[in-house]
A and B are shown apart, each in its own frame.
Chain A
């Protein structure tokens, strides 16, 4: 059974720092991996999707990498801002389905 873990559970950094969020999964047979952002009390916003054949995806200050063989993904945020404060979730799609399996998230606080 696929399990997704995110470390750390919470992170606090000063504004301007570059930071890395980690996601690991137990079964490397995935179709894709998706990173989401969730603001308190709100739904999820998709940030980046990496197909299993890709190594990384970039969007603005965000860069996500995928290493299927080791079961790991990282989300790199450059020059962090207070507006980046949110919970970041990773999720994988495994097997011939569209079902997402989520990690429990990393709560990020960027201090002004």
Chain B
């Protein structure tokens, strides 16, 4: 099946620094990728929708200047958490839509744990 890979799987950074998370579709082209954040024992919360070659669409309450999303190719989207703070510590998950016949199935990456100290 389709594979979506995220890197790094775990990252620890100092408060005030920036960290980049990559999301790659390994065996298909993804015109649209989605970024989610998940806090412990909570469901996934959509942060933004990333379309290749255009600006990302952010959900209400998500700061676009803090969470920079770049979708420069059909197989790669990146999320950069700028000036990270401890409250940004979370599990970040990306997903990509594979256009395969009916339904446009969406596949998820393994997730990236971010800890800001």
Q: Does A associate with B in a complex? A: no
Interface of B with A (CB < 8 Å)?
none
